[in-house]
Amino acid sequence: MKKVLLIESNIKLLDQTSDFLSSKNFEVVATSEGTSGIQKALEFIPDIILCDSDARGLNGYEIFNTLLQINSTAIIPFVFLMNKVSTEDVRAAMNLGADDYLEKPFNQNDLLKLIEIRLEKQEKIIGLADEKFNTLMEYSNDGVFIYQDEKLSYVNKIFCDFVVYSRRELIGMSLVNIIYKDDIHLVIDKISRLLKGIHKDMQTEFRAISGDQKIIQFSLSGSIINIKGKKSIVGYIKPKKDSEKGVFIPKKCDINITQREKEILLLICKGFSNNEIAKELNISDRTVEGHRANLLSKTECRNTASLAIYAVRYGLYQIT
What pLDDT does 6 receive? 96
Nearest CA to 52 out of 101, 122, 113 is that of: 101
What pLDDT does 26 receive? 94
d(CA 261, CA 294): 8
Over 80: is that where the pLDDT of 281 sits? yes
Q: Higher-confidence residue: 257 or 191?
A: 191
Kindly report the three-state secondary structure assignment for every residue of the chain.
CCEEEEECCCHHHHHHHHHHHHHCCCEEEEECEHHHHHHHHHHHCCCEEEEECCCECCCHHHHHHHHHCCCCCCCCCEEEEEECCCHHHHHHHHHHCCCEEEEECCCHHHHHHHHHHHHHHHHHHHHHHHHHHHHHHHCCCCEEEEEECCEEEEECHHHHHHHCCCHHHHCCCCHHHHECHHHHHHHHHHHHHHHCCCCCEEEEEEEEECCCCEEEEEEEEEEEEEECCEEEEEEEEEECHHHCCCEECCCCCCCCCCHHHHHHHHHHHCCCCHHHHHHHHCCCHHHHHHHHHHHHHHHCCCCHHHHHHHHHHCCCCCCC
Distances in Å between the Cα of 250 and the Cα atoms of 4, 213, 266, 310 are 56, 10, 22, 11
d(CA 246, CA 145): 21
Paired with 78 in beta bridges are: 49
d(CA 217, CA 207): 4
Over 90: is that where the pLDDT of 53 sits? no
Nearest CA to 302 out of 155, 145, 180, 120 is that of: 180
Over 50: is that where the pLDDT of 248 sits? no
Worst-scoring range by mean pLDDT, 33-47, 75-89, 235-249, 261-275?
A: 235-249
Question: CB within 8 A of 182, min separation 6: which ones?
Answer: 207
What pLDDT does 314 receive? 67
Question: CB within 8 A of 74, min separation 6: which ones?
Answer: 67, 68
d(CA 179, CA 165): 13
Radius of gyration of the chain (CA): 28
% of the chain with per-residue pLDDT over 70:
85
What pLDDT does 87 receive? 67
Q: What sign does the CA torsion over 264, 265, 266, 268 have?
A: positive
Over 70: is that where the pLDDT of 193 sits? yes
Nearest CA to 297 out of 256, 266, 268 is that of: 256
Which domains, and CATH codes, for the chain? 3-133 (3.40.50.2300), 140-248 (3.30.450.20), 259-313 (1.10.10.10)
Pairing mode, strands 48-52 and 100-104 = unpaired
pLDDT digits (tens, 9 = 90+) for 86-143: 667 666 666 667 778 888 889 999 999 999 999 988 887 766 656 666 677 787 889 9
Residue 15's pLDDT band (boundaries 50, 70, 90)? Answer: very high
